[in-house]
Structures are given as structure tokens and as C-alpha cells.
Amino acid sequence: MVSFKELGLVNTREMFAKAIKGGYAIPAFNFNNMEQLQAIIQAAAELRSPVILQVSKGARNYANQTLLRYMAQGAVEYAKELGWENPQIVLHLDHGDSFELCKSCVDFGFSSVMIDASSLPYEDNIALTKQVVDYAHKYDVTVEAELGVLAGVEEEVASEVSHYTKPEEVVDFATRTGCDSLAISIGTSHGAYKFKPEQCTRDPKTGRLVPPPLAFDVLKGVEEQLPGFPIVLHGSSSVPQEYVDMINKYGGKMPDAVGIPEEQLRLASKSAVCKINIDSDSRLAMTAAVRKDLYENPGHFDPRQYLKPARDEMKKMYIHKIVEVLGSDGKA
Ligand code: G3H
Ligand code: 13P
Ligand code: ZN
């Protein structure tokens, strides 16, 4: 058993309470490799922004859970080396799908876990979430749960339509499970193709897809039912069109990739939404920069030559999110 406290990590409790009071949101960035982690930590340390490092199922399969945990431990030390005396870094399991997996993360030093039982029937979601909460709380590890289903591919659960969270269920769910935060469905979804072209309109000037707005009425309903309770938004990449254009220009093919407009996330950050999940935008920044570098420099063969601009581009993107969208700079 390793406590996250020994690793210099923090849980989300105090962080979320401050974020809700302060009207900003904490960035939750997924990481799968060293360059992403370096970019996240450099951005957070320079801006003194609390940050959540997320480990998904895909990341565990790709990089190995043990290695990722040690990397996060290293990230705390790296942050201190960068001059951040008291780093506010959470190591979070993203979309945990079983009690055993959540337990293994709690036992191994994660400071926060998500149990995503949102695809199960309501009562089963409550039972599994409560089981995880009861275990995690013994070790002061905070637990995120989910109610409602996001459209698109929610991990391996394919769902054509989004089932918005029902505000009338949230009090019962939060009370009976004891969860510390709740991911809700208000129209966001995972990946770089969040909406089908037929769900969008087109901007006549640019020809770009304009997605339908998020269901802010559902968010408001949830806030009214659970005042001051920490709310989480998954699937919150904006899919910056400059990266899509770069990818397409330098040999990629991403037609009609579209995300959540930043103005809407900015608005959400000021509400009880205190954790915003971003993964795809990092993938896009990295891919765009690597493609550009290799296109312009056909002789490059040392990965450091093309991964350095990729890391710089990701850092720029993380800084933009923290300062211009979430408002978490200077909060740690
Ligand atoms: O929630 C989805 C995240 O973007 C992680 O995706 O399992 O492919 O790493 P992944
Ligand atoms: P995006 O695919 O929009 O980046 O969402 C990431 C996410 O929700 C991770 O849990
Ligand atoms: Zn997610």
C-alpha cells in the first residue's frame, strides 16, 4: 500500500471547493508519454495552476500503469525543480470500469479515481460507485462518478445518442454513493469528431461546422439540485481548427473534425463545473507539430528533432486552456 501523500500528490477535495468558490475550473489532462507529461507540468508550474493528470484505459494499455504512476511521481519532483514549491498535482484514474481496478489504483498511490458505471442500470451504477467510494475514502482518495451517457464512443461503450443527466436523479445518486464529484452529460462527447455534420450548421463565411450548443439548462438544473457540488465535464476538447488545418496540410486527413467551442467551456468553468477533461486537443497539437516538422525536414530521424516542437506546441495549447478558458492560473 502506497499513500498518494507520500508521493507529494493531493486529492481533489480542497481543489474543487476552491474552484467552485472562485469561478474557475481545474484542467484534467490525459497523459500517455513523457513529452505530454513534461508539457503539462511545465505549463502548470509556470502558471501555478493546479492540475489533474489522468490515466485512461488506453494509456494503461499503451504505456503500462506502473510506469505511468512512477512518471507522475517524477512529475511532482520535476515541478519542484521548476520552482513550484508546493505543487498541486492530482493523479487520477480516468474512466475506471471495475472495483478491482479502482482499488489497485488507490493501493498504488493514485490520489483520485473515477468509477464510470454510467452504462449500467441506475441502481447498479449506485452500488458499484458506493463500493469504490467506501474503499477509496478509507485512504482519503477522492472519487468521481458519472450519471448520464455521453454521445459517441465512451471508452468501449458505443452510444449513438447522448442521454443527458437527469437533474431529478442527482441528489439521490450523490447522497447514496457518497461520491466527491459527478461527471454529467450535457452534450459533450469524446474524441475529435464530436458531432456529425448533419447535427451542425455551417458558418457561411468560413465554411466551418458550427456545433449545437451544450445543454446549459441541464447543468443549471443539476446545480439547483446540488448547490456547490463539484461537477465534471468529459469530452471537452475544442478541436482547434488551426491544428486540423495543419494536419490536413501536412499529409493528414481529418475531414469535419469538430469540438466544443471555447466560449461555452469558459462559461461552464464559471459554474459548478470544476474539472474539465481534455485529451484530444493534446493529440491534435502533437500530431500537427510532428507532421509539420517531418514534412519540412525530411532528413529528421532523431525523434527528439520532431518531438521537441510537438512538446512545445502542446505546452502552448495547455497554457492557452489554463489562462484563456479555465482560469486556473495563479490558483496554486
Ligand atoms: O476518455 C477518453 C480519453 O480521451 C482517453 O482515451 O482510452 O484512448 O486513452 P484512451
Ligand atoms: P476529449 O476527447 O474531448 O479530449 O475528452 C477527454 C476526456 O473526457 C477524458 O476522460
Ligand atoms: Zn472522459
CATH number at residue 169: 3.20.20.70
The CA distances from residue 331 to 30, 50, 62, 87, in Å, are 20, 7, 32, 11
Domain-located, residue 20: yes
In a domain, 332, yes or no: no
Task: Please tell me whether the overall predicted TM-score, pTM, comes out greater than 0.95 for this model.
Answer: yes
* Angle at alpha carbon of residue 328, lines to 324 and 329, rounded to 5°: 80
Domain-located, residue 331? no
Residue 94 annotated among the catalytic residues of the structure:
yes
Q: Supply the residue whose CA is at minimum distance from atom 7 of ligand 1.
A: 58
Given ligand 2 and candidates 57, 214, 236, 258, which is best to mutate, with the most ligand atoms within 8 Å of its CB? 236
Measured distance CA(213)–CA(195) in Å, rounded: 11
Cell numbers for 227: 448547490
Question: Mind listing the pLDDT tens digit of every residue in the chain (332 residues)?
Answer: 999 999 999 999 999 999 999 999 999 999 999 999 999 999 999 999 999 999 999 999 999 999 999 999 999 999 999 999 999 999 999 999 999 999 999 999 999 999 999 999 999 999 999 999 999 999 999 999 999 999 764 434 444 556 999 999 999 999 999 999 999 999 999 999 999 999 999 999 988 999 999 999 999 999 999 999 999 999 999 999 999 999 999 999 999 999 999 999 999 999 999 999 999 999 999 999 999 999 999 999 999 999 999 999 999 999 999 999 999 999 99
Ligand in nearest proximity to the CA of 260:
2
Say if ligand 2 is within 6 A of residue 279 CB. Answer: yes
Ligand 2: which atom is nearest the Cα of residue 236?
3
Residue 105, number of CB atoms within 10 A of its CB:
26
How many angstroms does the Cα of residue 76 sit away from the middle of ligand 3?
24
Q: How far is the CA of 300 from the centre of ligand 2 (A)?
A: 31
Ligand 2 atom closest to the CA of 282, numbered from 1: 4
Of the candidates 195, 181, 182, which has an alpha carbon nearest to the alpha carbon of residue 264? 195
Question: By C-alpha distance, which of 110, 119, 123, 125 is closest to 155?
Answer: 119
Mutate to test the pocket of ligand 2, among 188, 277, 317 (most ligand atoms within 8 A of CB): 277
Residues 287 and 252 sit within 8 Å (Cβ to Cβ):
yes
State the residue for C-alpha cell 474543487.
16
Q: Is residue 139 domain-resident?
A: yes
Report the pocket of ligand 1 as residue ranges, CB < 6 Å: 30, 56-59, 94-95, 190, 279
Instruction: State the total domains in the chain.
Output: 1
Residues 6+ apart with CB under 8 A from 119: 149, 154, 157, 159
In a domain, 49, yes or no: yes
Pocket test for ligand 2, best of 150, 154, 188, 278 (most atoms within 8 A of CB): 278
Look at residue 198 and give its three-state secondary structure.
helix
State whether the beta carbon of 321 lies less than 6 angstroms from ligand 2: no
CA torsion angle 38 278 288 242 (round to 10): -130
Does any ligand 2 atom lie closer than 6 A to the CB of residue 236?
yes
16 inside domain:
yes
Whether residue 128 lies inside any domain: the answer is: yes
The number of the ligand 2 atom at minimal distance from the alpha carbon of 95 is 10
Taking CA atoms only, the protein residue closest to ligand 1 atom 9 is 58
**Ligand 1 atom closest to Cα of residue 279:** 4
* pLDDT of 44: 99
For residue 284, which of 306, 322, 252 has the smallest C-alpha distance?
252
239: left (phi over 0), alpha (psi -120 to 50) or beta: left
| Residue in the block written with cell 478491482 | 100
- What is the span of the domain harbouring residue 257? 4-326
On whether residue 66 sits in a domain, the answer given is yes
Spatial distance between the Cα atoms of 187 and 164, rounded to a whole number of angstroms: 7
* Closest ligand to Cα 277: 2
Q: Hey, whose CA ends up nearest to atom 5 of ligand 2?
A: 235
Burial of 140 (0-12, 13-18, 19+ CB in 10 A): middle
Distance (Å, rounded) from C-alpha 218 to C-alpha 129? 22
186: three-class secondary structure by DSSP:
coil
Q: Within 10 A of 253 (CB to CB), how many other CB atoms are there?
A: 7
